[in-house]
Amino acid sequence: MSPTVSPLPDPPLPDPITVEVIGAALSSIVEETGEALVRASYSTNIKERRDCSTALFDRTGRTLCQAEHIPVHLGSFLDFIPMLMAAHDAGGLRPGDVFIGNDAYRGGGTHLPDIVLAEPIFVDDTLIAWTVNLAHHADFVDRAHAHIYQEGLRIPPIRLYRGGELQKDVLDLILLNCQVPRERLSDLRAQMAANRVGVQRFQDLCARYGAATVLAASEALLDYAERKMRAGLAALPDGSWRFEDVFDNLDSDQPVPLAVTVTTSGEDIRLDFDAPPQVRSGINMTRTALLATVYYIVKSVVDPSVLPNAGLARPITVTAPEGSILNCSHPAAVNGRVQTCQRVADLILGALAQAAPHRVTACTNSTCTVAQFSGTRSSGPDAGSYWVYLETIGGGGGARPDADGLDGIHVHATNTSNLPIEALELEYPLILERYELVDGSGGTGRFRGGMGMRRVYRATGDCLVHVDVSRNLSRSWGLFGGGEGGHGAFSTSPGAEPFVQGAGRLRAGEWLEIVTPGGGGYGAPGDAAAEASR
């Protein structure tokens, strides 16, 4: 499905210094577009929690640079441009076209709330790159997750703007399918503005160095990331290591067994996953979500300084059974895929711990605890309209070979801020009563695991709630004698209706307490030599 675009002249071979200078400019551009997106946005999930990402892609959809935001968002980016190009005639692309999409099977997405906007960048009438951003729209709530049709509106890559002109009929269709259309409209506008910044800056860069040099340098940057990744992989011992864990979640009755075999050989690494067939719940992950997770954790262990572009993936081979939880096919539901991502990242850490014990941490809290509140406004000018509040709550980090695990942080595939209490209570009918680290929740050890968190909400009006926690049956493992982290859990006030599979209702005055898991410890506790070195 390689697109047909007019050929560019053979680029000159830029020297390493020009490459470095252009690389710095590309990372400036994606950071700047990200900042524009956050500052102009409206929903708390983006403006305060920064649940969004920005990136630049070459004409064929290879990542040139991804801003340091949310690793799993790369999953949505990986296939977006290729699928777009497969569905649209490249010759018909015009400056000012803006494509929108979110679908996991036709739009390159990993779950439906992550809406991608992409705009082609032209220089002298030639398509040379894409600016792409993704925002997690806190919408499509109070849904079932037996299959993707229950999870929200599926959008393939289609034009939201055509040559700079808003396609109002497309927008109207999308907004009618959203529960908080006013926020969606405003956030989409912020995404548009961010892409405009990306187009402008990339064109400025090309005006300075010449498009051919910029593209040649981009190509060199991909090679550079590959070389750096290969150099790091070569430093790992050759061998094959297997690791297994279970994935307990509120959606399924039985913990799901997951396993990986990691094989390193020279400058290459191969990860073969085993997983049961996809299920009728939201924990399935698309192949792109799996790849994004693998790229994130392999880069983190092998060399965190490798540029986040498509070159780093070249030495990495990934397999997972088709139609399984880790590589699902249509019409599997995928809304909660981030939980699975987190467990996959820790699986890989477990395998690599056997190869490079000093480069890994013990198991993190292995989850991204999610609390989603929604309801309708009972008074004011917006009475009757929906409100949605999405929060993801960090937990313990895994203990390290030389230090305790970090307490109360977002791990692995996600990295979003909390919503300030003073913003939360202003916008939603909730009061936060407690927000703290959970004593004793970090696994014991020479170095202890990071602590999980407790967050207690009291409703001041009726609302629906959906909670996603994990490690409520299993625990995060320690390494080399380190203890296990504390469980994840949630509970409600006495008298509240019991929740089913994490979903329920709070009436005014009732509370919900969420506890996130702790991380595993590293090394046996009481190791005298190690204690002394602490």
Partner 1 sequence: MMDGADRGENAAWRVGVDSGGTFTDLCMFDETSDRIMVWKVPSTPDDPSRGIAQGVAQGMCERAGPAAQPAAATTYLGHGTTVATNALITHRGARVGLLVTEGFRDLLEIGRQKRPDLYDLFADKPPILVPRELRFEVPERLLHTGQVLHPLDAEAVRRAARQMRAAGVEAVAICFLYAFVNPAHEQAARRIVEEEMPGAFICASHEIAPEFREFERLSTVVVNAYLGPIMHRYISRLTPRLRDLGLPVAPHLTQSNGGVVRFETAAQTPVRAVLSGPSTGVIAAQAIGTQAGLAHLITFDMGGTSSDVALLSGGAAALTNESTVHGYPIKAPMLDIHTVGAGGGSIARINSGGLLKVGPESAGADPGPVCYGLGATEPTVTDANIVLQVLNPTHLLDGRMEVRRDLAVAAIARMAGQLGMDTMDTAQGIISVVTANMAKAIRVISVQRGHDPRDYALMAFGGAGPLHAVRLAQELDIVTVVIPRNPGILCAMGLLLTDLRADFATTRLLPLEPGQTGAISDAMAQAEAGARSWFETEDIAPEARHATRRIDMRYEGQNYELSIPVPDGAIDAAMLDTLAAAFAAAHQRAYGFTAEQERIFCVTFRAGALGTVRKAALSERPEGGPSAASAVIGARQVWYPETRDFTETTLYARDRLAPGMRFDGPAIVEQMDTTTLVPPGTRARVDRMDNLILEIAP
Pick out residues in 340-359 that bind partner 1 (CB under 8 A). Answer: 359
Window of 63-71, 101-109, 265-273, 476-484 that interacts with partner 1 by CB under 8 A: 63-71
Closest to partner 1 by CB, 20 vs 142, is: 20
Judged by CB under 8 A, which of 144, 423, 464, 503 binds partner 1?
A: 423
Which strand (E) or helix (H) includes residue 38?
Answer: helix 16-40
Closest to partner 1 by CB, 74 vs 279, is: 74
Window of 171-179, 191-199, 329-337, 482-490 that interacts with partner 1 by CB under 8 A: 191-199
Window of 184-192, 273-281, 462-470, 505-513 that interacts with partner 1 by CB under 8 A: 184-192
Window of 105-113, 178-186, 370-378, 506-514 that interacts with partner 1 by CB under 8 A: 178-186
Distance in Å, CB of 224 to partner 1, minimum: 5
Closest to partner 1 by CB, 71 vs 521, is: 71
Q: Which of residues 133-172 bind partner 1 (CB under 8 A)?
A: none
Closest to partner 1 by CB, 103 vs 187, is: 187
Rg (CA), the chain: 23
Q: Is 186 in the site for partner 1 (CB under 8 A)?
A: yes
Question: CB under 8 Å to 220, separation ≥6 — which residues?
Answer: 13, 14, 16, 19
Closest to partner 1 by CB, 165 vs 402, is: 402
Distance in Å, CB of 367 to partner 1, minimum: 14
Distance in angstroms (rounded) separating the CA atoms of residues 418 and 423: 10
Strand order of the β-sheet with 430-437 is 430-437, 453-459, 511-515, 489-492
Q: Which of residues 193-212 bind partner 1 (CB under 8 A)?
A: 193, 196-197, 201, 208
Window of 79-87, 222-230, 245-253, 440-448 that interacts with partner 1 by CB under 8 A: 222-230
> DSSP states of 406-447 as a string?
PSSB--TT---PPPPHHHHHHHSSEEEEEEEE-TT-SPPSSB
Q: 477 by DSSP, 3-state: which?
A: coil
Question: CB under 8 Å to 145, separation ≥6 — which residues?
Answer: 151, 251, 280, 281, 282, 333, 335, 336
Q: Which of residues 298-317 bind partner 1 (CB under 8 A)?
A: 299-301, 303-306
Judged by CB under 8 A, which of 86, 158, 435, 524 binds partner 1?
A: 435
Structure tokens at 86: 């497969």
Distance in angstroms (rounded) separating the CA atoms of residues 338 and 341: 5
Distance in Å, CB of 317 to partner 1, minimum: 21
Distance in Å, CB of 5 to partner 1, minimum: 27
Window of 134-142, 276-284, 398-406, 503-511 that interacts with partner 1 by CB under 8 A: 398-406
Supply φ then ψ for residue 389, to 5 degrees: -125, 120
Residues 425/431, Cβ–Cβ less than 8 Å = yes
Neighbours of 358 (CB within 10 A): 8
Strand order of the β-sheet with 463-468 is 386-393, 369-376, 463-468, 503-506
Judged by CB under 8 A, which of 88, 143, 162, 227 binds partner 1?
A: 227
Distance in Å, CB of 454 to partner 1, minimum: 9
460: left (phi over 0), alpha (psi -120 to 50) or beta: alpha
Whether cis (ω within 30° of 0) applies to the bond prior to 331 is yes
What is the DSSP-derived secondary structure letter of residue 196?
H
Judged by CB under 8 A, which of 154, 400, 466, 487 binds partner 1?
A: 400
Distance in angstroms (rounded) separating the CA atoms of residues 449 and 486: 9
Judged by CB under 8 A, which of 238, 244, 322, 436 binds partner 1?
A: 436
Q: Is 410 in the site for partner 1 (CB under 8 A)?
A: yes
Q: Is 383 in the site for partner 1 (CB under 8 A)?
A: no
